Amino acid sequence: MAGIVDGRVVVITGAARGLGRAHALEFAAEGARVLVNDLGVERDGSGGASEPAREVVAEIRSGGGEAEANAADVADWDQAGAMIAQAVETWGRLDTLVCNAGFLRDRMLATMNEQEWDAIVRVHLKGHFAPARHAIAHWRDRSKAGEDVRGRLINTSSGAGLMGSIGQGNYAAAKAGVAALTIQQAAEWGRYGVRANAIAPDARTRMTAGIMYEEQAPQGWDDKDPANASPLVVWLGSDACDVTGRVFEIAGGALNVCDGWQHGHVVDVGRKYSAAEIAEAVHTSITASPSPAPVYGAG
């Protein structure tokens, strides 16, 4: 029986461990050809090794699937372009791009240094834009040539980016940017046959194990298993996906769409405000509008 993504060509960044590895195995199990990208860095972005990506490729091949390894730095413009080109040269086209790569350098904003800020914004935000920019060039060219393009882009945001997270200001800002980027991509790229969505997963990975969650999985049902998020990602990356411009939270077996900024209650005096009137208008609008979700870790 053919899988839901049978024959589709899929690039997954950060696919050697955690969520990315789970996505790669799920896509392969559903019939996709998978380019497994991973720079092989540690949790904080240090180091680098190609072995982890090759291990996932070997696992997919041992199960009868098709896969190739890639060790590009996804936030490097030229390397990101070469990664997309590798998939096209290997299998003739690209159908789905899953942007997942990233690492953490957590610190309170009052003590965070410039390098800690720049490194996280680079890998998460530019590391989403650069591969997608090269992917859309491929899809746009095919669309303009008259092809029926069904490109799929899945970005990885986070609850930290949607709600904020104490001690993760750099990560939260970058992941908020990813959520906004997804909306922008969906609005601009639909004309080329591309649907863009994002996930905000809750899972035990190298970035969360021993910090947010226990290192070891429990016996029986594990609601923090990274593989729980992968069926959603595979569906979003398939022809069957009929939504675009949305962000989905997924935690264990619980899934929900998550709306971003919305217009609150408007207080209109029909003229320029005086400074003395502002406080009343502000509090009237706040009172009449939905309350924001709390920041993760806030007391």
Give me 255's structure tokens: 């899934």
**215 SS3 class:** coil
pLDDT at 47 over 60: no
Q: Around Cβ 273, how many Cβ atoms within 10 Å?
A: 11
Q: Name the β-bridge partners of 196.
A: 153
Q: What is the C-alpha to C-alpha distance for residues 297 and 143, in angstroms, rounded to an integer? A: 45
The pLDDT score that the predictor gives to residue 203 is 74
Higher pLDDT, 78 or 216: 78
Cα–Cα nearest to 189, from 235, 240, 141: 141
Rounded to the nearest 10 degrees, what angle do helices 169-189 and 114-121 cross at? 30
Lowest-confidence segment of 45-49, 56-60, 120-124, 242-246 by average pLDDT? 45-49
pLDDT digits (tens, 9 = 90+) for 101-111: 999 999 999 99
Query: What's this model's pTM, rounded to 2 decimal places?
Result: 0.91
User: Would you place residue 214 in the very low, low, confident or very high pLDDT band (cuts 50, 70, 90)?
Assistant: low
pLDDT digits (tens, 9 = 90+) for 131-183: 999 999 999 999 999 999 999 999 999 999 999 999 999 999 999 999 999 99
226 in Cβ contact with 199 (< 8 Å) = no
228 in Cβ contact with 179 (< 8 Å) = no
The pLDDT score that the predictor gives to residue 209 is 39
What would the mean pLDDT of 114-133 be, rounded to a whole number? Answer: 98
The pLDDT score that the predictor gives to residue 216 is 65
What would the mean pLDDT of 227-252 be, rounded to a whole number? Answer: 97
Q: In whole numbers, what is the pLDDT of the chain averaged over residues?
A: 92
List of domains in the chain: 9-257 (3.40.50.720)
State the Cα angle at 46 between 106 and 76, rounded to 5°. Answer: 95
| CA-to-CA dists, residue 282 to 163, 263, 264, 270, 287, angstroms | 21, 13, 11, 15, 9
> In the block, which residue shows the tokens 């690492």?
103
> In the block, which residue shows the tokens 């990233």?
102
Which of the residues are catalytic?
158, 171, 175
Higher pLDDT, 207 or 291: 291
What would the mean pLDDT of 29-41 be, rounded to a whole number? Answer: 93
The pLDDT score that the predictor gives to residue 210 is 45
Q: What is the C-alpha to C-alpha distance for residues 234 and 241, in angstroms, rounded to an integer? A: 9
- Tell me the residue type at 156: T
pLDDT at 63 over 70: yes
Higher pLDDT, 189 or 209: 189
The pLDDT score that the predictor gives to residue 48 is 52
Cα–Cα nearest to 30, from 250, 194, 240, 231: 231
What stretches of the chain show up as alpha helix (H) in DSSP? Answer: 18-29, 51-62, 77-91, 114-121, 127-144, 159-163, 169-189, 230-236, 275-288
